[in-house]
Amino acid sequence: MILTNKQGVRDLNKLIQVCVDGALGYRTAARSVSSSKLRTILVDYAIRRSQFAQELQAEVERQGGSAQDSVSVDASLHRGWITLASSVSHGDARAIVASCEAGEGAARASSVPGFRGTLER
């Protein structure tokens, strides 16, 4: 991936934010489920999102930009929703997975237009 302009760095930083948000969301969900098998899957997704963020941060720095690692307000609210849904549903795996799927949908919807086709493959 070769990006040499400020817009490219901004786009990568947006993807970094999506990955960091996803990692935190999956960690929140993993803490909320009682199934050890599902917890392992969710933790694995969280680790992958963290790795994606680190790779993107390295690319931003390679391009001479400053990599972000902040989270979005919307994602923070969504993690709160996962926690609330878990409490109300008493850790119901279906409700928590549905919340994760909603988070993935929100991540796709907020992705950078230039990368959208790549993310949907």
Domain that holds residue 38: 6-119
Higher-scoring residue by pLDDT: 24, 88: 24
SS3 content of the chain, % helix, strand, coil (to 5): 80, 0, 20
Query: What total number of domains does the chain contain?
Result: 1
Give the end-to-end CA distance of the chain in Å, rounded to a whole number.
17
Band (1; pLDDT cuts 50, 70, 90): very low
Residues 6+ apart with CB under 8 A from 15: 56, 111, 112, 115
83 pLDDT higher than 70:
no
54 pLDDT higher than 90:
yes
Mean pLDDT of all residues in 86-108 = 75
- 1 part of a folded domain: no
- 106 part of a folded domain: yes
Answer yes or no: are the C-beta atoms of 82 and 98 closer than 8 Å.
no
Band (115; pLDDT cuts 50, 70, 90): low
- 110 part of a folded domain: yes
- 15 part of a folded domain: yes
pLDDT more than 70, % of the chain = 69
